Amino acid sequence: MASDSARAALLLSKQLKGEGSMRARGFLFPLSLKFQTRTDANQSRSFHSRPKDLQKNGASFFSAGLVDDENPFEWQIILTGPASTLYEGGMFKARLTFPKDYPYKPPVMKFVSEMWHPNIYKDGKVCISILHPAGDDPNAYEMASERWLPVHTVESILNSVISLLASPNTESPANVDAAKQMREEPDNFKRRVRRTVDKTLDEAF
């Protein structure tokens, strides 16, 4: 009988190859795409031009690939900021780290790019219901159905994070300073977010 970690690795490999629900709905960047560097300028420009054009239709997109081809438990992600939001146009880099007993326990998502968002910790870790362990919320803030379930996929996680970028929750913030600024100084909040967007573009070329 296969071990839990072997089963988890197989499941992740299937998702990465697009055999599961990560088959594109609308558009999905090639899963083998690696993070871009300044030395990949031509490829980066091509990569950036596609989401910019496609976002005219109001969609948001992501790419996913392994950090190390020998390790299926750590993925690198690029999310494009949702259209018509403060994060529009950004190319935000993140990591998804999966436990050996995935899908019974959720992965951890942490942005590598600088982020300023009420529901993203200052160290980049994402705070969202879908990534909280299964079961009842000890603080009675979330319903069990909103938390992690083994049926969730990488695609559903990333779509939830994209929705979080579009609609921040200031009632239960991970970054209290960002939430306070969003409520009390919205113009300064907007300017700070746009600086992070511009920074992702500077780093892409």
- Residues 59-100 have pLDDT tens digits of 457 787 888 888 888 998 889 898 899 999 999 999 999 999
Tokens of 100: 């050996």
Region of poorest pLDDT, from 41-50, 85-94, 110-119: 41-50
Residue 43: predicted pLDDT? 34
Residue 166 pLDDT > 90: yes
Is residue 133 exposed (0-12), middle (13-18) or buried (19+ Cβ within 10 Å)? Answer: exposed
Residue 121 pLDDT > 50: yes
> In the predicted model, what is the mean pLDDT of the chain?
76
Other Cβ atoms within 10 Å of 35 Cβ, number: 17
Terminal Cα-to-Cα distance of the chain (whole angstroms): 47
Q: Could you tell me the pTM of the whole model?
A: 0.72
Nearest partner of 203 among 90, 83, 104, 111, judged by Cα: 90
- Please say if 127 is a catalytic residue: yes
Residue 57 pLDDT > 50: no
Measured at the CA of 41, the angle between CA 76 and CA 45, to 5 degrees, comes to: 80
Q: Which residue is it, tokens 């970028």?
A: 165
Residue 30 pLDDT > 80: no
The model's confidence at residue 24, banded by pLDDT at 50, 70 and 90, is: very low
Q: Which of 22, 66, 94, 127 is catalytic?
A: 127
Domains of the chain: 4-204 (3.10.110.10)
The model's confidence at residue 181, banded by pLDDT at 50, 70 and 90, is: very high
The model's confidence at residue 36, banded by pLDDT at 50, 70 and 90, is: very low
Range from 49-53, 105-109, 130-134 that averages highest in pLDDT? 105-109
Non-local CB neighbours of 116 within 8 Å, separated by 6+ positions: 175, 178, 189, 192, 193, 195, 196
